[in-house]
A and B are shown apart, each in its own frame.
Chain A
Amino acid sequence: QKEVEQDPGPLSVPEGAIVSLNCTYSNSAFQYFMWYRQYSRKGPELLMYTYSSGNKEDGRFTAQVDKSSKYISLFIRDSQPSDSATYLCASEGYKLSFGAGTTVTVRA
């Protein structure tokens, strides 16, 4: 069983819509989770770093962790064409375990 599983997508939304991305994880001992954004031909860029349960907000981005269901989510409000990228969730540890990524396209 993979440590992190991500909804594969792809996802296409109109500009201004809310984007919802989800991952599940298998190890209940995990406490830290990360969301990375990867543009084509670029490296992953750290977007959000969350600890334990609850929500964390940063501008238009909200990361949510539900430890009871081992679910992590990323919401993008008022999506822009510049948000078009692949989003990767990762669990803690130095040996990052990545989901396969969800490719998001925001249509102008």
Chain B
Amino acid sequence: NAGVMQNPRHLVRRRGQEARLRCSPMKGHSHVYWYRQLPEEGLKFMVYLQKENIIDESGMPKERFSAEFPKEGPSILRIQQVVRGDSAAYFCASSRDRNQPQHFGDGTRLSIL
């Protein structure tokens, strides 16, 4: 019974490049959440998606960041034109429905050169 799978585990990009982070939820889970953890800080909510819909993106920066959860395939968090401040650990979580506990993946650690 696989948990939440995130890939890649580590991603290195140069300033100005694009970063794509993938998340496959647990089996039977159709709700996906993305969180960002900056060094020495707590996890911060970014976006909540259900299949093909963005439910709440209030925690996501208005520019350069986008997320999707297509009918088929993993959820994608996309960061365009990355900057040094985007360096962080990005965690994905999933749940069976919005009132059920969220289960987290092991994150993607993004480093910007």
Contact = CB atoms under 8 A, between A and B. Distances in A.
Contacts of B104: 36, 43-46
Interface string A88-102: 100000111111110
Interface residues of A, number: 18
A34 B101 CA distance: 8
B42 interface: yes
Nearest to B105: A43
Contacts of B58: 95
Contact of A46 (B41, B48, B101): B101
A43 B41 contact: no
Interface of A: 34, 36, 41-46, 49, 88, 94-101
A-B pairs with lowest CB-CB distance, top 5: A43-B104, A43-B106, A94-B98, A100-B42, A95-B45
